[in-house]
Amino acid sequence: MVLVAPIRLVLDPEAPQDGHHHQIGEFLPSWDGRVLAYNVETDGGESGPIMVLNAETGKSLDGEGTSVRGGAYLCWLPDNSGFLYHRSTAGPSNHQVRLAVLHALGTPLASDIRQ
């Protein structure tokens, strides 16, 4: 079965008119296509906050998350209730350590749980 829907813009990284260049770093729609997890990088940087968008209304959900660097590797849970992503933090001797973080939809991104 092939589903066909009209094409429409869901996310425009250049919408903020703040004098900076914005680009989508990574994005992944939920399995049902209703929610989009993504991050937007600024001025060619390789980091940006994780954000969540209602694909039907275009409204931001759950606030803004911690900035991720070098790929968030987003992965939705099978029931669309949330997603896992990677976040870097300083480890021993200031080496970067990658952490798996769980975001549950409907909760503030700033309070995501390390796994």
pLDDT at 89 over 90: no
Query: Is 83 within 8 Å of 76 (Cβ atoms)?
Result: yes
Q: Which of 15-19, 79-83, 102-106 has the lowest mean pLDDT?
A: 15-19
In percent, how much of the chain has pLDDT > 70?
A: 88
Alpha-carbon gap, residue 84 to 30, rounded angstroms: 12
pLDDT of residue 46: 77
Supply 113's token pair: 């749980």
pLDDT of residue 75: 93
Alpha-carbon gap, residue 49 to 13, rounded angstroms: 13
Confidence of residue 67 (pLDDT cuts 50, 70, 90): confident
pLDDT at 13 over 60: yes
Alpha-carbon gap, residue 103 to 2, rounded angstroms: 31
pTM: 0.80
Supply 47's token pair: 């980091």
If you average pLDDT over residues 89-102, what whole number do you get?
75
